[in-house]
Amino acid sequence: MKEKVIIGMSGGVDSAVGAYLLIKEGYDVEALFMRNWDSMLNNDTLGNPNLENEICPQEQDYNDAKKVCEILGIKLHRIDFVKEYWDNVFTYFLNELKKGRTPNPDLLCNKYIKFDAFKKEAKRLGAKYIATGHYARLKNNKLLRAVDLNKDQTYFLAGLKKEQLENVLFPIGELTKPEVRQIAIDIGLNVAKKKDSTGICFIGERNFQKFIQNYLKPNPGKIINVETKEVIGTHQGLMNYTIGQRKNTGISGYDERHYVCGKNVSDNILYIAFGKDNKYLISNSCILEDVNFITDKRPTSCSAKFRYRSEDVSVNLQYLENNEIKVIYPQGFKAVTPGQFCVFYDHDECLGSGIIKKVMKDDEELWYLK
């Protein structure tokens, strides 16, 4: 008897090829499309007669997923996790923005939706395994980076508990993105050349500032040069900016590159530093909270990523009380950002993560990031 696996079908090429590979391996494959966001909420097409007949991206994804399943000859389930997403992901996202931090909802979506709510639903449907189109690998109960390091998504899986990765399959983890696309072309999948989705799923192609104003009111304040303490502009709300950002800062008249280096939430101040190597962008330690380890390892030294696309950094770890860790990187690193996840690695193995709580230099918390 074939073992049953349900794959999360997003309407993209990765999960589509993943389903095909599972079928080739001899599994009894079904698919499930997760609706995590109410597309009618703050839909920019509403009230616009030129756009009202357009299909929203989420429904287009569902239609694409349905077509994939027709081509592959497998059953497609559809389920709403809108409430779960709102309660566990979006509410957290808003609360973090209010604190002046920069949250990453993708890690929480994996923790609470794809590897919790979805997993429970798959079990209810009789599946032994779940699968996703993530670029990652599981070997000997270890979460490993994907073969395609440019597409590796272990960063987004680092908030999972060890048991959440039990009975999980990552069918495309051994492939590169070009190989995945070629398979899709070879078997005639409708999504073979579909563009990858980017950004935060509930915002899509919409302008972030316009979208977030539906939930958080604009709160203009001063933009201050962190070195001279001179007021050089006005921001439209701290939630619209992240540390290290150099575009759309709202400052004109300055030819030299300028970067967001800090936020003062209590005084509603945005701090700007000039020059890409400005010392105010650099820290050499930070405190993590809500630390999560996927393995039993508790290293005192390893490598870490401070955001998804950053390079690996050699770090030393000091274990503190209250599930906190001090991460030390004497060489210094640019734009470490409160609210983001720091993810630990031992070569290819992803060990776990923590949320950046405080950013420091020479053991002093950066005054412009409080």
Given this model, what pLDDT does residue 52 score?
43
Q: Is 109 known to be catalytic?
A: yes
* pLDDT, mean over the chain: 92
**Element of type H or E holding 222:** strand 221-225
Given this model, what pLDDT does residue 140 score?
93
Token pair for 281: 């962008």
Query: Which of 187-201, 243-257, 321-335 has maximum average pLDDT?
Result: 321-335
* Domain match, 261 and 132 both: no
**Domain-terminating residue out of 274, 299, 318:** 274
Question: Nearest CA to 363 among 289, 285, 311?
Answer: 285
Kindly tell me if the per-residue pLDDT of 46 is higher than 80.
no
Specify the number of domains making up the chain.
3
SS3 state at 122: helix
Identified catalytic residue from 109, 286, 342, 350: 109
* Domain match, 134 and 177 both: yes
Given this model, what pLDDT does residue 252 score?
63
For tokens 């993530």, what's the residue? 134
As separate numbers, helices (DSSP H) first and strands (DSSP E) second, the chain gives 8, 18
Given this model, what pLDDT does residue 58 score?
80
* Domain match, 155 and 296 both: no
Domain range enclosing 145: 4-186
CA-to-CA distance for 350 and 252, rounded, in angstroms?
A: 42
CA-to-CA distance for 357 and 307, rounded, in angstroms?
A: 14
CA-to-CA distance for 318 and 334, rounded, in angstroms?
A: 21
* Domain match, 63 and 175 both: yes
CA-to-CA distance for 356 and 286, rounded, in angstroms?
A: 7
* Domain match, 118 and 265 both: no
* Domain match, 173 and 303 both: no
Kindly tell me if the per-residue pLDDT of 55 is higher than 70.
no
Identified catalytic residue from 56, 69, 201, 302: 201
CA-to-CA distance for 159 and 342, rounded, in angstroms?
A: 10
Is 207 part of a structural domain of the chain? no
- pTM of the full predicted structure? 0.92
Q: Is residue 269 a contact partner of residue 225, using CB atoms and an 8 Å limit?
A: no
* Domain match, 243 and 149 both: no
User: What pLDDT digit, counting tens, does each position of 113-137 carry?
Assistant: 999 999 999 999 999 999 999 999 9
Question: Nearest CA to 114 among 72, 59, 159, 70?
Answer: 159
Q: Residue 290 belongs to a domain with what CATH number? A: 2.40.30.10
Kindly tell me if the per-residue pLDDT of 47 is higher than 50.
no
Which of 152 and 54 is assigned the larger pLDDT?
A: 152
CA-to-CA distance for 211 and 131, rounded, in angstroms?
A: 32
Give me the amino acid identity at 335: A
Is 200 part of a structural domain of the chain? no
Sheet holding 4-8, edge to edge: 76-80, 28-35, 4-8, 129-131, 168-169
How confident is residue 264, by pLDDT bands cut at 50, 70 and 90? very high
User: What pLDDT digit, counting tens, does each position of 157-182 carry?
Assistant: 999 999 999 999 999 999 999 999 99
